[in-house]
Amino acid sequence: MLIVWTETLRKYPVFSFISRKGRKPFRIPGTDTVIEMGTPVFVPVHAIHHDPRYYPDPERFDPDRFTAEEVAKRPPEAYLPFGIGPRMCLGECSIYCQLHFFLLMCD
């Protein structure tokens, strides 16, 4: 059941993008572009979740994308419904606890 929930959040993420500010100058690999400290950076969550490089046929609802074998084929940054790193959504643990409780109540 958890893979159904995970696929739902992939197709319909809570946030379309995540915004951050550069903490230090960063050169984008393969380019001359430098993101300076304090520059706003927007991560397009919806676009990443619908990128066929990570999710073939991305418009199709397919919970099997989140079996352990399939998840191991993708970088962790390819799934960002709650963000990533130290500033990720604090509600992630809470929502999964509530989901498990709900599923137990429905049994």
Please provide the DSSP assignment of 7-59 as one string: HHHHHS-S-S-EEEE-SS-EEPTTSS-EE-TT-EEEE-HHHHHT-TTTSSSTT
Q: How many domains does the chain have?
A: 1
Domain region containing 73: 2-106
What is the per-residue pLDDT across 42-75, written as a single tens digit (0 to 9) for each? 999 999 999 999 999 999 999 999 999 999 999 9
Residues in the chain: 107
The answer on whether 93 is annotated among ligand-binding residues is no
Report the predicted TM-score, pTM, of the whole model to 2 decimal places.
0.79
Percent of the chain topping pLDDT 70:
98
Q: Exposed e or buried b for every residue in 56-84, given b needs 16+ CB within 10 A?
A: eebeeebbebbeeeeeeeeeeeebbbbbe
